[in-house]
Structure 1
Amino acid sequence: MRQDRLARLRSKMAAEELEAFVVLDLLNVRWLSGFTGSSGACVVTSGEEILFTDGRYRIQAGEECPGWELRISNEPLAAQIGGFLARCGPVRAGFESDVMTCEQLEQLSKAAPEAVLDGRKGFVSEMRAVKDAEEVERIRRAATVTDEAFRRILPHIRPGITERDVALELTYALGKSGAERESFPGIVASGPRSALPHARPTDRRLGEGEPVLLDFGAAVDGYAADITRTLFIGKPAAQLAEIYEIVLKAQEAALAAIRPGASGVDVDGVARRIITEAGYGDCFGHGLGHMLGLDVHDGPALSPRSAVILQEGMVVTVEPGIYIEGVGGVRIEDDVVVTADGCEILTRSPKDLRILEP
């Protein structure tokens, strides 16, 4: 698979008349080479693929990056890369303009004064938008682990436990279910705090009749899952039960609209119209979803401003929500892969209105 990725990158470089490309974003480095260390960069030319890192990762890089030339040094990465480019003469080298710092660019320019440095935003990261079969399988495994963690956390959700303790139990449940780590710091928000889309867990104690919003995910083999479920401890208030059904209807309609060629704006609009027509348009203040992959936000969003046109192999979240200040909120989120004729839902946790016994 990685040879295919290198071939795609080289084809793109040739089309842009670039003789070399410098990759500093660690997720892009991993995607191309397999290297998982915390310090590294790579340079790809028409005939070479070179990984630059330091002495801490000599053994690891050799194990993770078969076939790659390794350059091990404790010099700054930009200086190492500049030294390589200097030996190439007046080479036209692209670099990630949205990643490289001003200091790194200065080091690179100083070390390779003859190189023509050409900044390109998103040059490699955009290539990660469409997942190959191996990547989809890793996300599928992450989704399965996330579903299992959801099953494990349910007995812990009861009146009197704090949001923070639920979050700790959730982290443990993810690990016991097979996650290598959380894909992002989980959200646990109860009662009126569930109206905060990105609430952090606090020492607030869960109470009867309240919503409990859980937003979390597993990372497996580097790839992320991301799910949200909203539960109720005892019978919810009528308004909360109403908005739950609206959000569920909006999500199901958006899922049905996903297919190759659909735009992010249009899919977002399907869900947003349902919520707006129900009278809660002003209470849905974020986009419908985002791409998933090596990062939990692995590319552009599905939103009213989205430029995304869906393609087979893209993996996205679908997560409409309604949030009412002082009352509470509901969000329902699943992960899906775009297929030839629609989408496959990867997260399978039940999402009918769920009332837990207090």
Structure 2
Amino acid sequence: MSKSDFTAEEFLFRHRQVRSRMADCGLDCIVAFHPVSIHWLTGSDGKSYQNFQCLVVLRDGPLIMLTREPERYEFEQDALCDRLETWGGVEPEDPLMAFASLVERERLAGLRVGMEVPAYYLHPHAYVRVKELLGKAIVDEPCNIISGLRSVKSPAELAYVRSAARVADAGMTVFADQLSAGRTELDLCGQVYRALLASGSELPASTMNLVSGHRSVYSHGAPTRKPLRHGDIGHIEYGAARCRYTATIGRQFSIGRATARQRQIFDVVRRAGDAMIATIRDGVPASHPHRTARKIISEAGLGQYQIHTSGYGLAAGFPPSWGESISMFGETEEPLRTGMVLTIEPPVFNGPEGIGVRLIDNVIVGATGAELLSTFSRDLIEA
């Protein structure tokens, strides 16, 4: 994503939304660390999240971006911020010293500050230093204002998601055509990635899961040199990305005809996913689709093997994740809202029987129902 991927008006609308929510919450400032928050507000598309960086959002002032000096030209040419400050360059520099100078110049320690605390992108040592520098000014931690706003996608964002879903379907068509005994998991992985890139996908934020045979009970298994053999079952999951907006897809496969038991478990998982999709609409608590799927899986005697989320929100992806904070798991009462993009993936990983089944689709939440994004068949793929 860059500042050219959306209109200036859309970026300004996002800025107004954040500042309005800050006023409602009595905040003067947000310090944003999540690269998706930074890119949502500025269009930044760089890999600068690998080092310390932050976006300071002042309710009654500028957007100030602090990043490392080697990223200067990318931010100047491809991102929207009112002021750019950098650290490092020709010689090493402690980025927290640069942040301390910013805190002092803008008198942030005297404001009411909200602080993002992302799962992957803020080193624990940096977190401790930031807390020390801001002290009692931090009154909202973790601050979820930006993540809550960005989880509902605009029409322009949804257009990128739908485009990514069409590319993901193209990749699955190639996978199904190429699937056969003797091919290795890595060989098939390469064929799918080639199809994705040829069809217009960017590099996805997370790597492919592709498991077969005894590995089918792995929830996040990377493809290996293992050849597919007659009688193997397995599942594949990957994402396609357009301007970092991601669509994911996952399908179950069998080399040869699946056994009766394998098909029985697949049918349970498919019914659970169908039931989730049928319950999704604006205002429904996020836990409700999960409980619906869990009831079906438990009634089939497989409840103890549903050991993974039933689904979650999809964001614009930055490695290692494309996930939003919302999760359809446990007792999450956060309401689903029109414009959210969700994965649907209630699985069964039955270790004792060596049968793992996962089927993944994406939907857009609507006022009265869900829009299924993939048109690729949800049937078991038998090669």
TM > 0.5: yes
Q: 1:135–1:293: 8 Å Cα contact kept in structure 2?
A: no
The one-letter code matched in structure 2 to 1:62 is: E
Q: Which residue, 223, 229, 235 being the options, matches 1:201?
A: 223
How far apart are the structure 2 equivalents of 1:263 and 1:67? 35
What per-residue deviation string (whole Å, max 9, x for no partner) do you get for residues 156-204 of structure 1? 2110112222222222222222111123111111123212222222222
Matches within 5 A, 1:150-229: 150-229=172-251
Choose 194-203 or 89-98, whichever is displaced more: 89-98
Partner of 2:376: 349
1:332, distance to aligned residue in structure 2 (A): 1.1
Q: Note closer, same or farther for the CA distance 1:234–1:101 as it changes in structure 2 (3 Å cut).
A: closer
How far apart are the structure 1 equivalents of 2:130 and 2:266? 54
Q: Note closer, same or farther for the CA distance 1:102–1:181 as it changes in structure 2 (3 Å cut).
A: closer
* 2:315 partner SS: coil
1:310, distance to aligned residue in structure 2 (A): 0.8
1:299, distance to aligned residue in structure 2 (A): 1.4
* 1:140 partner SS: helix
How far apart are the structure 2 equivalents of 1:251 and 1:21? 38
Q: 1:41–1:77: 8 Å Cα contact kept in structure 2?
A: no
1:108, distance to aligned residue in structure 2 (A): 5.0
Partner of 1:259: 281
How far apart are the structure 2 equivalents of 1:130 and 1:291? 10
1:110, distance to aligned residue in structure 2 (A): 7.4
Q: Which residue, 302, 317, 337 being the options, matches 1:280?
A: 302
Partner of 2:337: 311
1:351, distance to aligned residue in structure 2 (A): 1.0
Partner of 1:42: 55
Partner of 1:321: 347
The one-letter code matched in structure 2 to 1:340 is: A
How far apart are the structure 1 equivalents of 2:127 and 2:236? 42
Matches within 5 A, 1:326-337: 326-337=353-364
Partner of 2:41: 32
How far apart are the structure 1 equivalents of 2:133 and 2:354? 59
What per-residue deviation string (whole Å, max 9, x for no partner) do you get for residues 234-259 of structure 1? 21111111222222122111111101
Q: 1:264–1:304: 8 Å Cα contact kept in structure 2?
A: no
Q: Note closer, same or farther for the CA distance 1:53–1:250 as it changes in structure 2 (3 Å cut).
A: same
Alpha carbon RMSD of aligned pairs, Å? Answer: 2.3
Choose 338-347 or 155-164, whichever is displaced more: 155-164
Per the normalisation by structure 2, the TM-score is 0.85
For these two proteins, the number of residue pairs brought into alignment is: 355
Q: 1:21–1:44: 8 Å Cα contact kept in structure 2?
A: yes
How far apart are the structure 2 equivalents of 1:16 and 1:167? 47
1:109, distance to aligned residue in structure 2 (A): 7.0
Partner of 2:115: 95
Choose 144-153 or 9-18, whichever is displaced more: 9-18
Aligned-residue identity in percent: 28
Partner of 1:300: 326
What per-residue deviation string (whole Å, max 9, x for no partner) do you get for residues 3-52 of structure 1? 12211211222223222222122221111111122334211111311222
Q: Which residue, 86, 98, 121 being the options, matches 1:72?
A: 86
Partner of 1:149: 171
* 1:224 partner SS: strand
Return 5+ residue gaps in structure 2 as ranges: 1-9
How far apart are the structure 2 equivalents of 1:101 and 1:207? 43
Q: Note closer, same or farther for the CA distance 1:70–1:239 as it changes in structure 2 (3 Å cut).
A: same
Return 5+ residue gaps in structure 1 as ranges: none
What per-residue deviation string (whole Å, max 9, x for no partner) do you get for residues 192-223 of structure 1? 32122222222222112322311111122111
* 1:87 partner SS: helix
Partner of 2:24: 15
Q: Note closer, same or farther for the CA distance 1:163–1:59 as it changes in structure 2 (3 Å cut).
A: same
How far apart are the structure 2 equivalents of 1:322 and 1:248? 11
Choose 122-131 or 283-292, whichever is displaced more: 122-131
Per the normalisation by structure 1, the TM-score is 0.91
How far apart are the structure 1 equivalents of 2:274 and 2:176? 24
